[in-house]
């Protein structure tokens, strides 16, 4: 009976909704955008308030890939011409210098994340040139967290050693699935033996946290190949596992997500069963669930951050700590000053052109209102801690009665608990946390999109 009830609730609440790596979510940023003046002003304000206390975060987008993976919704540029590396790194360092001139003091970089695309598309020599160039104008604190994404097929020992020598201690490998049929459908062919080799190489070099990214809901996936994928993963015991729901948004990403037929995708409650199966297998292996779609060993920083209530979520996903200012460098990167967001040009050519003109390559953004900031805190609390409260005056919203009224049905369905001054998402209802956040999302409520723009919530 419980399984039937759970299936009915999944059917009921499995609707399109944001993943909430930010609030407001990108589709609801002000249509007028943000002026460069306002963006620079909020960056400087945030830097002055926080740099000497907690440092800043740096996200660097390295967009190049040699092959197109048909599951990918990231901003990327497909090429086999490695001559693109030098001019792109030149542009990154030029953009960084524009921010250095704006900040007016030496930034203390507590977090760096190299994302993509495929960061390991770049040679070890160029990765070193990039990081060395960043630290010409910056310094690192005693405690820092530098990480990068890596493709098992094209990551070399030289790249791993070079980044380790530069202070990187965490890496994530894009696995997705080990089944040959699934790999063929998503154009991501890589053997367990290749993954095992690069994973063990990273451990031998000394990396303290290794993450594997796995996706459920891919074409042709079923319970048997999920079991195989997770069995292989557990053999290597990565410190973290990101177990993502495949976001099928071909109306946004075009041909890249049309490499298979819609009927090949696992649907609704069966897709959720794949997640629940994977989750139980991770639990059996000693992993703990973190936030949404993440797992870690109890020895990892991410688990400790969850227990200490210092877990944070931003455009880089879940992180073990918060910095007020996150600067994004590179094509399509999104920066977060806490008070505003700004996104860079989404085409490599446009990005490099703007930087070479001596201009910050921002093409859109959003200046948060007072209401936005309060809602943002509530959604962060829910996504990281599965609860939020409004006991503090700074967390109160005029529209809280309306928000709670929208959540009454979820309370009746025994998914959440609502008290006089706080709300708790039940542990067994973790899968519905995005739906809870949607009730707080005042911009989404006020302006429901006519066309579907989000992936399904469950």
Express each pLDDT in 446-457 by its tens digit. 988 777 778 778
How far from the centroid of its chain's Cα atoms is residue 125's Cα? Answer: 27
Separation CA 57–CA 50 (nearest Å): 11
Domain made up of 1-24+370-458: CATH architecture: Orthogonal Bundle (1.10)
Report the pLDDT value the prediction gives residue 107, as an integer from 0 to 100: 98
Dihedral (CA of 111, 116, 122, 126) sign: negative
Separation CA 233–CA 230 (nearest Å): 5
Report the pLDDT value the prediction gives residue 257, as an integer from 0 to 100: 44
Q: What phi, psi does 122 have (nearest 5°)? A: -80, 145
Angle at CA 379, nearest 5°, toward 18 and 35?
75
- CATH superfamily placement of domain 42-367: tm_1862 like domain (3.80.30.20)
Tokens of 82: 């490695």
CATH 3.80.30.20 in the chain is located at 42-367
Separation CA 260–CA 219 (nearest Å): 7
- Helix axis angle for 157-165 and 192-205, nearest 10°, is 30
SS3 281: helix
Q: What phi, psi does 114 have (nearest 5°)? A: -95, 115
Express each pLDDT in 22-46 by its tens digit. 999 999 999 999 999 999 999 999 9
Is residue 253 pLDDT above 50, yes or no? Answer: no
What's the chain's average pLDDT? 93
Separation CA 149–CA 242 (nearest Å): 12
Express each pLDDT in 411-456 by its tens digit. 999 999 999 999 999 998 998 999 999 999 999 999 887 777 787 7
Is residue 115 pLDDT above 50, yes or no? Answer: yes
* pTM to 2 decimal places: 0.93
Pairwise pLDDT comparison (354 vs 19), residue with the higher score: 354
pLDDT tier at 315, thresholds 50, 70, 90: confident
- 97-101, 284-288, 314-318, 387-391: range with lowest mean pLDDT: 314-318
| CA distances, 426 to each of 310, 402, 411 (Å) | 20, 21, 10
CATH 1.10.10.920 in the chain is located at 1-24+370-458
Rounded average pLDDT over 332-351: 97
Is residue 2 pLDDT above 60, yes or no? Answer: no
- Cβ count within 10 A of residue 79: 14
Rounded average pLDDT over 117-135: 97
Q: Say if residue 117 is preceded by a cis peptide, omega within 30 of 0.
A: yes
Separation CA 457–CA 273 (nearest Å): 14
| CA distances, 269 to each of 64, 260, 273, 375, 432 (Å) | 36, 21, 6, 30, 13
CB neighbour class for 357 (10 Å; exposed up to 12, middle 13-18, buried from 19): exposed
pLDDT tier at 238, thresholds 50, 70, 90: very high
Express each pLDDT in 174-226 by its tens digit. 999 999 999 999 999 999 999 999 999 999 999 999 999 999 999 999 999 99
Q: What phi, psi does 75 have (nearest 5°)? A: -80, 115
Pairwise pLDDT comparison (145 vs 249), residue with the higher score: 145
Is residue 262 pLDDT above 90, yes or no? Answer: no
Pick from 439, 440, 438: which is nearest to 457 by CA? Answer: 438
- DSSP assignments along 419-445, one per residue: -SSEEEE-GGGGGGHHHHHHHH-HHHH
Q: What phi, psi does 235 have (nearest 5°)? A: -60, -35
Segment holding 335, helix H or strand E: strand 334-336
- 98-112, 116-130, 307-321, 394-408: range with lowest mean pLDDT: 307-321
pLDDT tier at 3, thresholds 50, 70, 90: low
- DSSP assignments along 373-400, one per residue: HHHHHHHHHHHHHSEEE--SGGG--TTH
- 251-260, 274-283, 371-380: range with lowest mean pLDDT: 251-260
């Amino acid at each position: 009976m419980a399984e039937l009830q759970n299936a009915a609730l999944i059917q009921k609440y499995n609707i399109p909704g944001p993943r909430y790596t930010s609030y407001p979510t990108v589709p609801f940023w002000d249509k007028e955008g943000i002026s460069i003046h306002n963006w620079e002003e909020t960056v400087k304000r945030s830097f002055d308030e926080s740099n000497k206390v907690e440092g800043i975060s740096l996200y660097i987008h390295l967009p190049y890939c040699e092959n197109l993976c048909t599951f990918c919704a990231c901003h990327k540029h497909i090429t086999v011409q490695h001559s693109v590396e030098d001019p792109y790194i030149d542009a990154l360092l030029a953009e960084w210098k524009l921010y250095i001139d704006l900040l007016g003091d030496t930034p203390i970089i507590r977090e760096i994340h190299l994302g993509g695309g495929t960061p390991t598309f770049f040679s070890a020599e160029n990765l070193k040139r990039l990081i060395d160039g960043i630290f010409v104008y910056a310094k690192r604190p005693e405690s820092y967290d530098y990480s990068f994404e890596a493709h098992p097929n094209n990551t070399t020992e030289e790249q791993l050693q070079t980044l380790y020598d530069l202070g990187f201690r965490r890496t994530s490998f894009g696995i997705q699935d080990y089944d040959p049929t699934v790999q063929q459908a998503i154009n991501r062919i890589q053997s367990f033996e290749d993954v095992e080799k690069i994973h063990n190489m990273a451990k031998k070099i000394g990396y303290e946290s290794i993450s594997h990214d796995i996706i459920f809901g891919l074409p042709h996936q079923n319970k048997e190949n999920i079991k195989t994928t997770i069995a292989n993963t557990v053999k290597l015991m990565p410190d973290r596992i990101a177990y993502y729901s495949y976001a099928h948004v071909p109306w946004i990403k075009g041909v890249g997500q049309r490499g298979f037929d819609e009927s090949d995708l696992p649907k609704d409650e069966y897709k959720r069963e794949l997640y629940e199966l994977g989750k139980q297998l991770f639990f059996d292996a000693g992993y703990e669930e973190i936030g949404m779609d993440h797992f870690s060993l109890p020895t990892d920083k991410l688990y400790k951050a969850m227990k200490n209530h210092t877990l944070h979520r931003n455009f880089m996903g879940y992180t073990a700590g918060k910095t007020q200012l996150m600067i994004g460098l590179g094509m399509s990167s999104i920066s977060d000053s806490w008070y505003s967001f700004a996104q860079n040009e989404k085409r490599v050519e446009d990005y490099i052109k703007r930087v070479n003109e001596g201009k910050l390559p921002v093409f859109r953004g959003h200046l948060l209102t007072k209401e936005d900031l309060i809602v943002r805190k509530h959604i962060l609390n829910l996504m990281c801690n599965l609860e939020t409260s409004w006991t503090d005056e700074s967390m109160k919203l005029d529209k809280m009665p309306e928000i709670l009224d929208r959540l009454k049905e979820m309370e009746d369905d025994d998914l959440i608990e609502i008290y006089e001054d706080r709300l708790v998402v039940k542990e067994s209802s973790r899968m519905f946390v995005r739906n809870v956040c949607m009730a707080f999302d005042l911009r989404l409520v006020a302006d429901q999109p006519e066309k579907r723009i989000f992936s399904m919530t469950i």
